[in-house]
Amino acid sequence: MSTNQKNRVSHVAIIMDGNGRWAQKRALPRSMGHKQGAETVKEIARAANELGIGFLTLYAFSTENWNRPKEEVDTLMGLLRQYLKSDFSELNKNNIRIRFIGEREMLAPDIAASMEQLENETAANTGMTLCLAVSYGARQEIAGAARRLASLVKKGDISESDIDIKLFSDMLYTKDMPDPDILIRTSGEKRLSNYLLWQLAYSEMFFSDTLWPDFKPQELRDIINEFYSRERRYGKV
C-alpha cells in the first residue's frame, strides 16, 4: 500500500446499507439484520484503526429513519443503547476515540447522556476517531450552521463578509475533522441520502454491492488500495 502523503487516507465515511435485505434473504426479522450490522460496525472499526485511518464516520441513524415503523426505531435505539453501555468499551481499550454527530435533542435522555459520557471517557485516546452519525441529516446540519452564523452577525460578533468556507465549516458538527477522502455505500444503492453533503464535496465515491452485515475488512482494504490508484485533482488539471 502506498503511503504517499498527498493521498493518505485520513477519513473514511460509510453509509451502512442493506441490513434489512440481509435479514430478508435469510427469512429473518429485520432486527436481526441490524444486530448483525452492529457486529460489522465493531469489526470494521477495529480494522480501520489497525489500518491507521484517522477518522471513520458511520451513518447509524438518519433524521429520516425516525419515520420507520416504531418497532424498527425501537430496535435500532435498543441496539445503540446496548452498544453505548457495553460493547463500545472494547473500542475504548483499543485506544479509539468515539464521538457522535446529529440532533441529540431528538434522542432519549439516557442515550444522549451515555453518548456524552463515552465521548468524555475516550477523549484522551490517541487512536482512530470513530464518529457515529445518529439522528443525523446533512441539510439540517447546514441549515443549523446558517442559523448560527446569522445569529452571530445579528449580535455583531462577526460581519457578513467574515463568512467564508472555513467559518461555515466551523459551524458544522464535523468542525475539527478533515473532510472524508472516501465515501463507501454498501448494498448497491447509489445515493447520498442526506449524508455529509458539505463534507463530501471532493470525496472519492465507492459503491459496493455487498450488504452491510457481509462487509468485511478485506473489502475496506481493497477500496483503500483502489483509492490510492485514483488521481485526485480537486478541480485542477
Half-sphere exposure of 165 (CA within 13 A, CB side): 4
Residue type, 193: S
Active site residue 7: no
132 part of the interface to ligand FPP, by CB under 6 A: yes
Interacting stretch for ligand FPP, rule CB under 6 A, among 30-38, 99-107, 115-123, 160-168? Answer: 30-38
Residue type for position 101: I
Q: Does residue 85 interact with ligand FPP by CB under 6 A?
A: no
- Distance from C-alpha of 108 to C-alpha of 225, rounded to nearest angstrom: 40
Among residues 218, 183, 200, which one has the least CA distance to residue 56?
A: 183
Q: Specify whether 17 is catalytic.
A: yes
Residue/partner pairs of 113-116 with CB below 8 Å, 24 or more apart: 114/81, 114/84, 114/85, 115/84
Regarding 42 and contact with ligand FPP (CB under 6 A), the answer is no
In whole angstroms, how close is the CB of 133 to ligand FPP at the nearest point? 10
Binding mask 181-220 for ligand FPP (x = CB under 6 A): ------x------------------------x--------
Binding site for ligand FPP (CB under 6 A): 16-21, 34, 37-38, 41, 60, 65, 76, 79-80, 83, 132, 187, 212
